[in-house]
Structure 1
Amino acid sequence: MVEPVVIVHGGAWAVPEILWDRSIAGVKTAALHGYKVLQEGGSVVDVAEAAVEMDAIIMNGATMEAGAVAAIRNIPNPVKVARLIMEKTPHVMLAGEGANKFASQYGINEVDKELLITPYAKEELAEYKKYTNTVYCLFNKTEHVNPVGHDTVGCAVVDQKGHTACATSTGGITAKMPGRVGAVSTTGCGEAIMKACLARHIVSVMGTGQDVVTAIKSGLNHMETRINGFGGAIAVSCKGDVGMQFSTPRMPWAYVRQGKLHYGIHPGQHIIEDL
């Protein structure tokens, strides 16, 4: 029997101090909610969908099924659409207008984009028009002036039977070009993550028998040394091992296991609370 685990992240980037408390509160709430779903008999896929709220992906480790959407517009919870693609079609990914039409067929309709764009996001866009390289400013290890950013969230789950699932949803980086598709299942600079095949690297290292934390560190080190890319990742194994690492200035994360809530945002920070 495996000890169930639910771990979530709120994106690896230079999270500004004004967002620290809200970021931590968000990942704690998501982890607790996901763990409750698991305790009430929900599947690992149910948990992965519930824990994250316009790219998105969901994967079921037990069946090797996957679904994803890319460049979908004005959908408040794109991971729901990704799950429908996984369960209702033979495809893995739909993009753009096709993804929106598919969502509409299942009663998931577009909403007014103003409902999805916060005043803070508008300030971010105005600020980053001043920079020539948004990606560098968001994810480099060095702190920058007005380091505003992105909205990636992710979840990984393992249940008592060792079944795993994960989900990731993102609006992408601030000031991204139209049509940009972000890499998912990890977090940080999507272009670097795709070039380095970060998630695949982590899984491959775990396949050699290395622990989860060692595998994530190896992947992040490979991405940094090969292409000067920065980011983070969360992972669980079928044995219930859990890990989170990041090479950016900060990454909010939280997980629940054995009646305890673990969380942090700064490098080396690991706070534990009894439930």
Structure 2
Amino acid sequence: MSALEPGSAAPTRSGWVSGDVDHAAVAGSARAWGWWYVAEHRIRAMRSYVASWALIGIGSPFLYLMGLGLGLGLLVDANQGSEGVDGVPYLTFLAPALAMATVMQTASQENTYGVFGGFKWFPMFFAMNGTPISAWQIVVGFQVSVLARVVLPLAAFAGVIAVFGIGDGVRALLLLPIGLLLSVAVGFAVMSWVATQTEDRGQLSFIERFVVVPLTLFSGTYFPLETLPLYLQWIGWISPLWHAAELGRVALYGAELAPGMVLVHVLFLVALAAVTCALSIRTFRRRLDR
């Protein structure tokens, strides 16, 4: 009997198993858990650079916080006196925003070349679409894998904050869910645009240069947004980084906000994620069904 005939042995990673392959069950599993299969595929691929990923993810928070804390932070605190910034030492004010800025940068990078490459350079999205996995599962699964990518630097920031007494260690853990929400909002937003690009003419690098960097500078990361002229403050108002940084400051040291602003910050990030997720799914369906 041929190995390809029904009832014959079927190859697996561990050898051969006997019996028919239940194709209906396999298809049903893919329809139910396809998003996780996509995420698992990308997470497994990350193993090829896990050493550098871990080194950067753990080392960057330490270098950023200690470098700024022992340099700019000492200068600011010396000039501000006991009041500090927002009523706390400058490094405590800065830490949540730096954590969120790292999340924004990571989510942006993963959803730029990762999404474009999935269509153009190594068209894995088309291969996935040839299975029962649907477009929405590819989109969602991709973002789940990005969440796995940003968890490490978020945890490292929380650890550095706790170890060096920048803030309360337990409250620092609240930065993780805020950062994950920011990752989803930024990730879907970048994905929704990158998925529309069919050729690389250098425009992919624009996101880092003309979106990520300006938002980092004008989102109240290094100083309160209110210190900017009013004609520049609108950049922060529409920036997901500002909304996440404000939530992070509330979580870490109880920064005072106007009534209802916590809800506004959360709803902004949720709405951005929901709208751009829908746009991403629509674009993926259109490209994959051609």
TM-score above 0.5, yes or no: no
Q: Which one has a bigger Cα radius of gyration?
A: 2
Which TM-score band (shorter chain)? under 0.3
Structure richer in helix, relative to its length: 2
Q: Which has the higher contact order (CA 8 A, sep 6+)?
A: 1
Tell me the TM-score normalized by structure 2. 0.26
Structure richer in strand, relative to its length: 1
